[in-house]
């Protein structure tokens, strides 16, 4: 299998970079192929702008949707975007590794998503609007895993934690970015108190990380509801008989 590691942490001695090195070593030992996108080392341009579209369809006004559609369909995207899309399309699994900065991914990784997730590929698939999303799309059949280093203690991110439940904080990524495109999203691998790990703790983290990598293609994904699986008859709103008196993000998980 081919695994793409995309990571956003410039410090070589960081926990994120340690996990990248351990992942590559472990995956190669188990006969997988590994590709890398080290966003800081690449000097990844994180801002989507007119430079991403080498042959504008409309010069008077920049419409990102229309220009993204045109550039992707005509092969006129910026070269760095095209290269990343090729790596992603060739991957059987995508692993995003990053420190949790202000309750989300670093801006450079968000910029990778913004620019690589083109119209016609990650959304607007088959030029069918919203027909193929949330469980369907160009990335269906691929697996995705978030690996997140967190400075605070796990209690802060529990169901009653002051920072909010981690799964809820990451919902825009797991559900809205990855599952949206058709990927099977695995439960997040989170490391808490990441700045206070001693040698024994680091050894335990590494062992647990290897266990998760070993089950990358056998672990059950998060049970998000499929848009076209019957739970959203209009393609927008959860059917009334389901979780009628409930609201919030949890209603989009199957029981």
Q: Over the stretch 157-199, which tens digit does the pLDDT of each residue have?
A: 999 999 999 999 999 999 999 999 999 999 999 999 998 889 8
Between CA 8 and CA 36 the distance in angstroms is 11
Between CA 64 and CA 42 the distance in angstroms is 24
Residue with more model confidence, 142 or 202: 142
Average confidence score pLDDT of the chain: 96
Nearest to 173, CA basis, from 185, 156, 190: 185
Between CA 87 and CA 95 the distance in angstroms is 12
Task: Tell me the per-residue pLDDT of 12-58, one tens digit each, with 9 for 90 and over.
Answer: 999 999 999 999 999 999 999 999 999 999 999 999 999 999 999 89
Mean pLDDT across the stretch 234-239? Answer: 94
Domains and CATH numbers, the chain: 2-222 (3.40.50.360), 225-255 (no CATH)
The residue whose two tokens read 């193929």 is: 132
Residue with more model confidence, 98 or 201: 98
What percent of the chain has a predicted confidence (pLDDT) above 90? 93
Between CA 131 and CA 234 the distance in angstroms is 11
Residue 137 has pLDDT above 90, yes or no: yes
Between CA 205 and CA 196 the distance in angstroms is 12
Give the pLDDT confidence score for residue 197 in this predicted structure: 87
Give the pLDDT confidence score for residue 169 in this predicted structure: 97
Mean pLDDT across the stretch 235-248? Answer: 91
Provide the token pair at 78. Answer: 């910026």
Mean pLDDT across the stretch 209-236? Answer: 96
Q: How confident is the model at residue 59 (pLDDT cuts 50, 70, 90)?
A: confident
The residue whose two tokens read 């997140």 is: 148
Give the pLDDT confidence score for residue 255 in this predicted structure: 80
Between CA 228 and CA 131 the distance in angstroms is 8
Provide the token pair at 72. Answer: 């992707």
158 alpha carbon, distance to own chain's centre: 21
């Amino acid at each position: 299998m081919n695994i793409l590691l995309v990571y956003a942490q410039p410090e070589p001695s960081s926990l994120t970079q340690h996990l990248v090195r351990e992942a590559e070593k472990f995956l190669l030992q188990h006969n997988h192929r590994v590709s890398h996108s080290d966003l800081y080392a690449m000097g990844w341009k994180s801002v989507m702008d007119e430079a991403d579209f080498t042959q504008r369809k409309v010069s008077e006004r920049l419409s990102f949707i229309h220009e993204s559609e045109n550039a992707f369909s005509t092969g006129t995207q910026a070269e760095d975007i095209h290269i990343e899309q090729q790596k992603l399309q060739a991957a059987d699994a995508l692993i995003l590794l990053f420190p949790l900065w202000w309750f989300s991914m670093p801006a450079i990784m968000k910029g990778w998503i913004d620019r690589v997730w083109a119209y016609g590929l990650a959304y607007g698939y088959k030029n069918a609007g919203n027909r193929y999303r949330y469980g369907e799309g160009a990335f269906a059949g691929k697996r995705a895993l978030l690996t997140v280093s967190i400075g605070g203690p796990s209690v802060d991110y529990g169901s009653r934690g002051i920072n909010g439940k981690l799964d809820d904080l990451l919902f825009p990524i797991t559900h809205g970015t990855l599952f949206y495109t058709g990927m099977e999203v695995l439960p997040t691998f989170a490391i808490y108190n990441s700045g206070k790990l001693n040698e024994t703790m680091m050894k335990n983290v590494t062992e647990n990380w290897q266990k998760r990598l070993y089950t990358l293609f056998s672990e059950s994904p998060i049970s998000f509801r499929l848009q076209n699986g019957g739970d959203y008859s209009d393609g927008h709103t959860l059917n009334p008989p389901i979780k009628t008196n409930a609201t919030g993000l949890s209603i989009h998980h199957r029981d």
